[in-house]
Amino acid sequence: MSVLVQVLAVITGILLISVGLLEAFRYKDQRLYPIFLIKPEDTAAVRMWTFNVGFYNIVWGLLGIAGVVLANTGEVTVGRTIVASMCIAHTILGMVLIISEPRLWMSGIGQSFFPVVILLLMFAS
């Protein structure tokens, strides 16, 4: 993997972990309403969903970073595969977010932008 791909994969991992922490632990914060669209009266109803989705993102982010670490410690194929898997998943998940809730189109683009760039850099000849 190129240095650029590795840097973008780590940035993507950090972003996923950051958003995951917000989803899991800060979903009640009304300053984050533009990101999550959760009304104060709905926080109890969505608690389980936000907590789980938050940890999904944290785990995906950790996997992306782990892929870069593995690629740099001699496990290049495994590392590339993990990074590519993270990117494919979040490219699809970004599109699903846009389709399922068009008001979150910026979040969907944010979720899939770096992963698409990484995939293009990894696989475009």
Q: What pLDDT is stored for residue 125 in this prediction?
A: 58
Q: What pLDDT is stored for residue 66 in this prediction?
A: 98
Share above pLDDT 70 across residues of the chain, in percent, rounded to a whole number: 99
Domain boundaries, the chain: 3-123
pLDDT in tens, 7-65: 999 999 999 999 999 999 998 898 988 888 888 898 889 889 999 999 999 999 999 99
Instruction: Return d(Cα 125, Cα 95) in angstroms, integer.
Output: 25
Q: Does position 91 have pLDDT exceeding 80, yes or no?
A: yes
- Give the burial string for 95-118 (b: 16+ CB within 10 Å, else e): eebbeeeeebeebbeebbbbbbbb
